[in-house]
Amino acid sequence: MSKPQDDSAQTQKEMSDIISDFSQFYVLLLLSEGALHGYGLIKHFRKRTGMTLSAGTLYPFLQKLEQRRLISQSDMSVGKRPKLVYSLTKKGRKFTEGLFRRFAAMTASAIEPSLETCACCGVRVYGGGHHEEVGGKIMAFCCRHCAAAFKRQT
């Protein structure tokens, strides 16, 4: 196998490992938004997900990311109090972009069965669309304006 294929296979394995654990995926999402220290990651994780992320889960994962050169840490200590801030490296940004694309594709395929198509403009609608009876049949529209336009055309 050539070097690029080895890297691609390794990247795919790493993505599978990350996707298998939501907390790890979410830590990468938070880091993609900007540099954070460990406590900040824990706090943001709890605020956004309503779940607790323990230091015992977070720090070994950060160490693994650092070993893979996906993140780097900077010392932002104030006085005697240590404060390490973690941020994605260039390699880490590229990795997370690929990971997020893969997650988006998985999410899209998961919601596909729930999508409806607007009878007027063809846009795909997930939840909250507009439904009206037209010719004795309930039809899906993205909005009431499309429903009115469709009725005018028929």
pLDDT of residue 2: 47
What is the overall mean pLDDT for the chain? 88
Domain boundaries 3-112, corresponding CATH code? 1.10.10.10
- Poorest-pLDDT segment among 10-19, 25-34, 134-143: 10-19
Q: Where are the domains of the chain?
A: 3-112, 118-153
The rounded distance, in Å, linking the Cα atoms of 116 and 127 is 8
pTM of the model: 0.66
Q: Is the dihedral of CA 61, 20, 11, 30 positive or negative?
A: negative
Residue range 104-125, pLDDT digits in tens: 998 888 888 888 999 999 999 9
